[in-house]
Amino acid sequence: MTLQKRNNVHIAGDGGATLILAHGFGCDQSMWRLLVPHFAKSFRVVTYDLTGAGQSDLGAYDHGRHASLWGHAADLNEIINEFAKGPVILVGHSVSAMICALATVQSPERIAALVMIGGSPCYVDKGDYTGGFSPDEVLQMLATIDDNYLGWAGTMAPVLMGAPGQPGLHEELLENFARTNAFIARHFARVIFLSDHRQDICGLSTPTLILQCPGDVVVPMGVGDYLHRVLPNSQLSIINNIGHYPQLSAPSACTAAMDVFFVERGFSDG
């Protein structure tokens, strides 16, 4: 089985640096459809489906290897080795923000920069850290996903997407959730919401852009502040948006912030 088949890898553009886009839970690479045309003008853009998601080879999803985000990070590094050329910039949304960060921890010499969109190292409130959910709330959510994944998806899609006045995006997210293998989704949800990668990424010095939305119901503003504080070479950019998917509901704001970051870091001439 090739990596292209395993993760349904696609390439657009032929720039000197490689931009790899990694999607979040319950979705696939179609989440990047509004950003790819913009960045393909300047970069070699690689999109893929996480193992177990989208049109990836579902048989490659391993409950041992993928019992933590480290397994997905290893998958990403394999994709980098196979498909990337020149400097590599990883762009991760939601859980993939941490997958990209962990991939960088595994191979720091290969990754030139990171972009985290709605990322969180820990979703549970612990001590003076506000992750957004109490332990009981996380357990209740996981139980709901276990009992009725599609019912959970139908209820949560409009809440997670936000995007008032753009009902088509709610439907698009729900369709993504519905296409996801429910058995894998249940397992992956546990991996995500029970993980704590704060110590793993603390002090990571790779240049990092943190994109945060004040209207994100999954990742509170305090998480973006926390990431900015513990990542010494980071900058925090606030996207004026309601919802967890600004790459769909506020694509122009996302590309504008990323363009500035790339120009400042010398990856693009604008």
List 42, 56, 94, 234, catalytic entry: 94
pLDDT in tens, the chain (270 residues): 799 999 999 999 999 999 999 999 999 999 999 999 999 999 999 999 999 999 999 999 999 999 999 999 999 999 999 999 999 999 999 999 999 999 999 999 999 999 999 999 999 999 999 999 999 999 999 999 999 999 999 999 999 999 888 999 999 999 999 999 999 999 999 999 999 999 999 999 999 999 999 999 999 999 999 999 999 999 999 999 999 999 999 999 999 999 999 999 998 766
The predicted structure's pLDDT at residue 158: 94
The predicted structure's pLDDT at residue 270: 62
Angle between helices 167-179 and 149-161 (to 10 degrees): 150
Assigned CATH for 3-264: 3.40.50.1820
The predicted structure's pLDDT at residue 164: 87
Residue-range domain boundaries for the chain: 3-264
Contact 142, 189 (CB under 8 A): yes
Distances (CA, A) of 60 to 1, 50, 69: 9, 10, 15
- What are the backbone dihedrals phi and psi of residue 156, each rounded to the nearest 5 degrees, phi first? -90, -20
CA–CA gap between residue 202 and residue 161 (Å, rounded): 29
List 23, 72, 197, 244, catalytic entry: 244
Written as one letter, the residue type at 146 is: D
The predicted structure's pLDDT at residue 264: 94
Catalytic residue status for 244: yes
With vertex at residue 78, the alpha carbon angle to CA 44 and CA 117, rounded to the nearest 5 degrees, is: 60
The CB-side HSE value for 213 (13 A sphere, CA atoms) comes to 28
pTM for this structure?
A: 0.97
CA–CA gap between residue 270 and residue 264 (Å, rounded): 9
Contact 126, 102 (CB under 8 A): no
Report the Cα 39 to chain-centroid distance in Å: 17
The predicted structure's pLDDT at residue 136: 97
What's 3-54 look like in SS3? Answer: HHHHHCCEEECCCCCEEEEECCCCCCHHHHCCCHHHHCCCCEEEECCCCCCC
List 216, 237, 249, 268, catalytic entry: 216
The residue with tokens 């959730």 is 177
Catalytic residue status for 94: yes
Query: 172-198 burial, b if ≥16 CB within 10 A, otherwise e?
Result: bbbebbeebbbebbebbbebbbebebb
The predicted structure's pLDDT at residue 268: 78
